Amino acid sequence: AQSVSQHNHHVILSEAASLELGCNYSYGGTVNLFWYVQYPGQHLQLLLKYFSGDPLVKGIKGFEAEFIKSKFSFNLRKPSVQWSDTAEYFCAVNGGSGNTGKLIFGQGTTLQVKP
């Protein structure tokens, strides 16, 4: 069955700490991978995306993610978090033959950054 798993449900960091949020997926065929962020009171916004090519992708606000096909993973990283990064982060995947765009989401990770 298609699924996405995010290992960390709630992460608390101090400002300037490094961040890594895990994401693993179970999906047949070619995948497209996404990280979305939802700031408090706002809608889901795209952080970064992977379709093909360089497995290390860079997104907005200093975030990056690495696609490791052998591990079915797409972990999100940021070297130094800021208080403004406090938000909920969602990993999502679609793809396969006959792709209709349907996104499968992970359960989300709440990141709290302490000033």
Partner 1 sequence: EPEVTQTPSHQVTQMGQEVILRCVPISNHLYFYWYRQILGQKVEFLVSFYNNEISEKSEIFDDQFSVERPDGSNFTLKIRSTKLEDSAMYFCASSTWTGREQYFGPGTRLTVT
What residue type is 90 in one-letter code?
F
Footprint on residues 2-41 left by partner 1 (CB under 8 A): 32, 34, 36
Kindly state whether residue 110 participates in binding partner 1, applying the rule CB under 8 A: no
Q: Which of 105, 109, 78 is nearest to 11 (CA)?
A: 109
> Cα separation of 98 and 30, whole Å?
11
Using CB under 8 A as the criterion, what x/- string covers residues 82-101 for binding partner 1? Answer: --------x-x-xx---xxx
Contact criterion met (CB below 8 Å) for 87 and 40: yes
Q: Which is nearer to partner 1, 45 or 84 (CB)?
A: 45
List contacts with partner 1 (CB under 8 A): 32, 34, 36, 42-46, 49, 51, 90, 92, 94-95, 99-108
